[in-house]
């Protein structure tokens, strides 16, 4: 009897080691592609993008979720680096700030060529895998970064943008954000405005992944119905597991399945447990739920490392990915399902987006209506001079005349 009492802990330890060893074996062949990492924002916040500052050395960088040794330990083979600028830059210097963050990603790859390979395609990701480097892609987080301009959108594509998150935590003039669903923002576009639909079509034409993290449910549904290619949620989790409006509800997960799209699970505690504390097992619960509702092809990872203040116990930084994979294996995920979540699902979606692109097709040219533009510090070259204000003046005049006629009739 005493022998059995000592045996069970030993069996548990050996089993845990087995799953961890299996995770590493799988990840050597199929490293993880993470959908969202905010290290570029940390480089701005901590060093004003001065990469030659000795404290910014990515081999020794401290107090972040991400550095080169942690990426290696976590078997990270592909990373969408978030090009993020806050909502308070909208209608001000969002484009400039976006360009600066794109620049820091490029310089980071140039400064550490033995670690990072800047790529813009699914084939580039596969090449990085073969070279044992981290495929580094640019994801622009927030539609306000294009300043409601299709020309800016195309320019960002030329600079390497391969996904665009349609909103951040604020509406754009053409798409509604998730805070509409909490009542903290007012709906403007009821999902997508006509110009927002043109943005989606232009992203399809170019071959840019459409990212629905941060958008309202109406925007999710409108985009999933309109897009000619699968879409991604670069860092969102399951609403049925944690009822945060930043997460994806089951009816949308069913649309994700129908469109062969992808949900890359976010690790932020408040979107995992709906409290300030969470653990690795609860992250796996989200992965299980998305697999159950949308299928194993719909699951990926978008940790949001270095973009959130709290991450789960057991997933303290990017080095911990093998522990999460071990937990999925412990839950009877097959090797094929795990490889899908690690990389193959994202590669499939990316390839489908590339195949649906049509660069020879005429680009979308119709600009956003002047009346829909926000901000008072902008010029309006190209728009009919004073047309909008003139229409409003005539409307006011006609309304005043109607009121005057009514008063005369009553007298």
Residue of 34, 165, 36 whose CA lies nearest to 98 = 165
Catalytic: 53? Answer: no
Q: Is-contact 166 201, C-beta < 8 A? A: no
| Per annotation, catalytic residue among 36, 65, 286, 289 | 36
Contacts of 9 (CB under 8 A, 6+ apart): none
What does the alpha-carbon distance between residue 220 and residue 216 come to, in Å, rounded to a whole number? 6
Q: Which two tokens stand for residue 382?
A: 């190209």
The torsion of the CA quartet 76, 281, 301, 69, rounded to 10 degrees, works out to -20
65 is catalytic: no
Judge whether 41 and 84 are in contact, CB under 8 Å: yes
Judge whether 168 and 144 are in contact, CB under 8 Å. Answer: yes
**Max alpha carbon distance in the chain (Å)?**
105
The count of residues in the chain is: 411
Is residue 235 part of the annotated active site? The answer reads yes
Cα 249 to its chain centre, rounded Å, is 17
Query: Which is catalytic among the residues 304, 306, 327, 337?
Result: 304
| DSSP strands (E only) in 10-100 | 32-37, 76-84
Q: Catalytic residue at 168?
A: yes
- Catalytic, 17? Answer no
CA 203 – CA 222 distance, rounded (Å):
15
List 65, 144, 147, 168, catalytic entry = 168
Q: Which of 141, 147, 285, 306 is catalytic?
A: 141
SS3 211: strand
Residue pair 106/120 in contact by the 8 Å Cβ criterion:
no
Of the candidates 144, 214, 286, 289, the residue annotated as catalytic is 214
CB 77 within 8 A of CB 32: yes
Q: Are 117 and 124 within 8 A, CB to CB?
A: yes
How do strand 161-165 and strand 134-141 relate by DSSP bridges? parallel
- The catalytically annotated residue of 235, 286, 317, 364 is 235
Token pair, residue 405, equals 């006629």
User: What residues are labeled active site?
Assistant: 36, 38, 141, 168, 214, 235, 304
């Amino acid at each position: 009897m005493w022998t059995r009492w000592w045996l069970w802990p030993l069996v548990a330890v050996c089993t845990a080691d087995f799953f961890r060893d299996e995770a590493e074996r799988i990840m050597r062949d199929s490293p993880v592609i993470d959908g969202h990492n905010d290290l570029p924002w940390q480089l701005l916040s901590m060093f004003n993008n001065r990469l030659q500052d000795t404290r910014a050395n990515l081999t020794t960088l401290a107090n972040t979720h991400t550095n080169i040794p942690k990426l290696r330990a976590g078997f990270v083979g592909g990373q969408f680096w978030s090009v993020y600028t806050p909502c308070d830059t909208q209608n001000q210097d969002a484009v400039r700030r976006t360009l600066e963050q794109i620049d820091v990603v490029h310089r980071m790859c140039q400064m550490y060529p033995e670690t990072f390979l800047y790529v813009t395609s699914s084939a580039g990701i596969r090449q990085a895998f073969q070279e044992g480097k981290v495929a580094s892609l640019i994801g622009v987080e927030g539609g306000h970064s294009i300043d409601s301009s299709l020309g800016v959108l195309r320019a960002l594509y030329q600079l390497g943008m391969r996904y665009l998150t349609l909103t951040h935590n604020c509406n754009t003039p053409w798409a509604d954000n998730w805070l509409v669903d909490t009542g903290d923002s007012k709906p403007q576009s009821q999902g997508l405005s006509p110009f927002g639909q043109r943005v989606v079509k232009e992203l399809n034409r170019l071959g840019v992944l459409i990212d629905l993290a941060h958008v309202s449910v109406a925007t999710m549904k409108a985009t999933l119905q309109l897009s000619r290619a699968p879409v991604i949620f670069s860092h969102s989790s399951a609403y049925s597991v944690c009822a945060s409006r930043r997460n994806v509800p089951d009816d949308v997960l069913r649309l994700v399945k129908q469109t062969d799209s992808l949900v890359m699970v976010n690790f932020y505690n408040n979107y995992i447990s709906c409290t300030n504390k969470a653990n690795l097992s609860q992250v796996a619960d989200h992965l299980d739920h998305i697999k159950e509702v949308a299928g194993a092809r719909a699951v990926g990872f978008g940790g949001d490392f270095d973009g959130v203040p709290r991450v789960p116990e057991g997933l303290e930084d990017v080095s911990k990915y093998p522990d999460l994979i071990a937990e999925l294996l412990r839950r009877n995920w097959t090797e094929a399902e795990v490889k899908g979540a690690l990389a193959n699902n994202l590669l499939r979606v990316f390839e489908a987006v590339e195949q649906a692109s049509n660069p020879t097709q005429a680009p979308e040219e119709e600009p956003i209506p002047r009346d829909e533009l926000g901000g008072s510090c902008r010029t309006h070259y190209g728009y009919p001079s004073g047309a909008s204000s003139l229409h409003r003046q005539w409307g006011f005049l006609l309304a005043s005349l109607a009121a005057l006629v009514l008063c005369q009739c009553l007298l």
